[in-house]
Amino acid sequence: MSEPMTAEEIVRYIVAEAVWAPSVHNTQPWRFTADGQQISLYADADRGLPVADPDGREMMISCGAALFNVRLALRSLGYIPETRVLPDPGQPTLVARVSWPQRAAADEFERRLLSQVRLRRTHRGAFDPEPLPPGLLAALRGSAARDGAALRLVADDGRRAALAAAVQNSGTRTAAGR
């Protein structure tokens, strides 16, 4: 039987997995600090995109993806992540603090999900026309709700067209520097 990992080894593993998270224009706008069995995730404003993302919204979404990978990496080691999001209003770049005080074996879904983290690739093409597997949308809604978020589907062609137009308009305005 192997020796248990030290807190420092766990942190190195967590960060090694977290940095594979997708980020806006691959900026990787995050940084990590560690203190024992706690890791802090910060938004790195120096990697922000002031023209394309003036409010830092996409930077925070990118940090959320890194946070997801932190939590998933901990689960793969059999730890239960204890997460505090935006824990200190006095530190606006502090996105989250994560500790791992308890253990529980990772389930098959978590192991499969982690196996895909390093396989991620940018995809700008169309998605396959096949219908989604039964139950997937319900599972995604449930996962979002457990994390305090809501999943909204844009299935109506009219709403989808309006959303596409808004995204296009946003891209055009961003390129023009407005």
149 pLDDT higher than 60: yes
pLDDT of residue 177: 58
Domains of the chain: 7-121 (3.40.109.10)
Per-residue pLDDT tens over the stretch 55-107: 999 999 999 999 999 999 999 999 999 999 999 999 999 999 999 999 999 99
pLDDT of residue 107: 93
Q: How confident is the model at residue 1 (pLDDT cuts 50, 70, 90)?
A: low
pTM score = 0.73
Asked if residues 41 and 167 have their Cβ atoms less than 8 Å apart, the reply is: no
Cα–Cα distances in Å, from 11 out to 8, 90, 109, 110, 129?
5, 25, 22, 19, 40
What percent of the chain is predicted at pLDDT more than 70?
A: 93
Q: How confident is the model at residue 170 (pLDDT cuts 50, 70, 90)?
A: confident
Average pLDDT score over residue span 101-115: 93
Sequence-ordered list of residues with C-beta below 8 angstroms from that of 159, at least 6 positions apart, any chain:
none
Give the C-alpha separation, 151 to 109, whole Å. Answer: 20
pLDDT of residue 155: 81
